[in-house]
Chains A and B, each alone.
Chain A
Amino acid sequence: MSALLRRLIALAITLWAVHLTTFLLLRAAKGGPFDEARSLPPEVEVQLRAEFHLDDPLLQQYLRALVGALRGDFGPSLRYREVRVTEILGDALPVSLGLGLGALVLALLLGIPAGLYAALAQRGPVDGLIRALATLLLSVPNFVIAGLAIAWFSFGLGWFPPAGGHGLSSFVLPCICLALPTAAQLTRLSRSAALEVIDGEGPRAALARGLEPNQVRSQHVLKPALAPILAFLGPTSAALLTGSLVIEQVFALPGLGTHFVQAALNRDYTLAVGITVCYTALLGALTLLADWAMSRVDPRVEALSG
């Protein structure tokens, strides 16, 4: 069996397990989707529970949910009763993906060059500055960065809107705030990865063979240093692309993260299951993609391309 097929089967099993666990955990939580500050009239509640099959035996409810999920339909939201979960996913996923993709690109563009530059300027003042900045960005939680960014750039300078998902300009601040901690991680990682290679035997041997220093940097330092960065990028890009609960909340972006939190709080069983499965699928697919890229760069990694 090819490695890729094995991984796909494992992903399918993971998805099923996540679906089952989420389903059961939500049912185990106290309170239901129709509990509100003012109780519904009993006859209305009976009707609603019947309409959404909440009084069926649990196994039957689960099988219904599973069959639906296999067809790509998670049923109607129990909170927004006219809307299907897939419609909500369809609206929210592009917002989260856009935010995540922007943040990922920004983090890569900032983090890797900064880290490599710091490694090449090892122990110099620039190296120190870059490292201090990276440590600072890693230590400050992103909701603090977000708050400051809103105070300065929205209310102070008036450059970007403070909240809401209307137009590209409203994505600038969230993207930056989401990207900065990841950029800082990438800086530290690429710096140490490059240093490990520089201090190793490869570049020295290459220099001894009479190669140009620039050639050594690109072929014997940058390329081997890329492997650990790629390994880190798999889960990180998945984490960024699946959105940020915190950043989406702070900037009031209508992405998956906001729905995810609200669905759990509202006991919106179907929506919470749908989002969790969607997250898992994204995470699995992106990890697989990153591993495939890894196998192309580092020959020691088992090839996934068959």
Chain B
Amino acid sequence: MAYAPNAPELAVEALRTERPDAFAPAPQFATTFLRFRVNQPPFDDIETRRAFAAAIDPEALAVALGEVRTAAWHLVPPSTPEWEPPPVPPWRWQQDRLTTAQEKNRWEYLYNSSELNRSVAEVLQAQWRAALGVEVALTNQEWKSFLAAQRGLEYQVSRSSWIGDYLDPISFLEIFQSDAGNNRTGWKDKVFDKLIDQARGEPQAEVRRLFLYEAERRLLDQAVIVPLYHEVSLELIDPRIEGLHRNLRGYVDWGRLRWKPEADT
């Protein structure tokens, strides 16, 4: 077998250290993040959301996941062309404790069942326990049930991800406009909506970029989402093959794959 598109999650760490010749994870134009349901307690309170967000250390998470994925501090991937991300909100480094009343709350994290998502959930659970002293219950659902729950806002905080449709920040940001079908947080923010609309109507690239920069800053500062990591492709390829090129959207130009000349092997 010369090529396998998805290495098993449990083998990632071993592959990275032992078979770097056959395992070349490539960054994807995708971000995995948390969504808070912001229109109902407990996460209608911005300070609670910020406390939960500040408790998360994406760098430690990336290490725990086998060091192939890059830690994310932003929704828009750093690989986006001609894009300068806004600063990470300063409160991410100020860990607030919860009130005693809040500590007694029932906290629940929802994710769709998968090996990777389970590991992520357990790391988050540990980080929240360490920083906030709360025990967050982990609930997993099969894909379609999960989607229905997320869409119907039947969750507190849930695992999410987004793959950009095209190489532009707006492809990530516009999903959080108030009336967007993929918002799925209950977040309605006039400032954010206007920034996205302005970006859409702005012909000057430099000005447009400023609107999007402000939009992402707003989204992160309001702690509607918490970026976790940027996804990578986990391909295995026979080291005797050369010419594997994949663009950011994940498409491989199969025509360029070649067996290396015999002398090299």
Indicate with 1 or 0, residue by residue over A186-202, a CB within 8 angstroms of chain B CB atoms.
Answer: 00000000000000000
In angstroms, Cα B32 to Cα A37, docked, is 12
| B182 CB contact (under 8 Å) in A32, A38, A267 | A38
In the complex, are the beta carbons of B147 and A37 less than 8 A apart? yes
In the complex, are the beta carbons of A30 and B181 less than 8 A apart? no
A39-B151, A41-B181 given; A162·B1 CB < 8 A: yes
> B142 within 8 Å of A by Cβ?
yes
* Residues of the B chain whose Cβ atoms lie less than 8 Å from the Cβ of A40: 181
> B241 within 8 Å of A by Cβ?
no
User: Which of B142, B146, B147 neighbours the largest number of chain A CB atoms within 10 Å of its CB?
Assistant: B147
In angstroms, Cα B144 to Cα A267, docked, is 8
A37-B161, A162-B1, A265-B143 given; A31·B181 CB < 8 A: no
Q: Which positions 131-146 of chain B face chain A at CB distance < 8 Å?
A: 141-146
User: Which of A39, A266, A267 neighbours the largest number of chain B CB atoms within 10 Å of its CB?
Assistant: A39
| A30 CB contact (under 8 Å) in B1, B144, B182 | B144
> A35 within 8 Å of B by Cβ?
yes
A162-B1, A265-B142 given; A36·B181 CB < 8 A: no
Total contacts A-B at CB 8 Å = 40
* Residues of the A chain whose Cβ atoms lie less than 8 Å from the Cβ of B162: 37-38
In angstroms, Cα B161 to Cα A79, docked, is 22
> A124 within 8 Å of B by Cβ?
no
* Residues of the B chain whose Cβ atoms lie less than 8 Å from the Cβ of A39: 151, 181-182
In the complex, are the beta carbons of A266 and B181 less than 8 A apart? no
In the complex, are the beta carbons of B144 and A266 less than 8 A apart? yes
* Residues of the B chain whose Cβ atoms lie less than 8 Å from the Cβ of A267: 144
> B149 within 8 Å of A by Cβ?
yes
> B148 within 8 Å of A by Cβ?
yes
In the complex, are the beta carbons of B182 and A31 less than 8 A apart? no
Cβ of B33 to closest chain A Cβ, rounded Å: 13
Q: Which positions 30-73 of chain B face chain A at CB distance < 8 Å?
A: none
In angstroms, Cα B147 to Cα A32, docked, is 9
User: Which of A31, A42, A155, A266 neighbours the largest number of chain B CB atoms within 10 Å of its CB?
Assistant: A31
* Residues of the A chain whose Cβ atoms lie less than 8 Å from the Cβ of B141: 30
Cβ of A79 to closest chain B Cβ, rounded Å: 11
In the complex, are the beta carbons of A35 and B161 less than 8 A apart? no
> A59 within 8 Å of B by Cβ?
no
> Residues on A close to B: CB < 8 A?
29-32, 35-42, 155, 162-163, 265-267
* 4 closest residue pairs by CB, A with B: A31-B144, A39-B181, A31-B148, A30-B145
> Residues on B close to A: CB < 8 A?
1, 141-149, 151, 161-162, 181-182
8 contacting pairs across A/B (C-beta < 8 A):
A30-B148, A30-B149, A31-B145, A32-B148, A35-B151, A37-B161, A38-B162, A265-B144
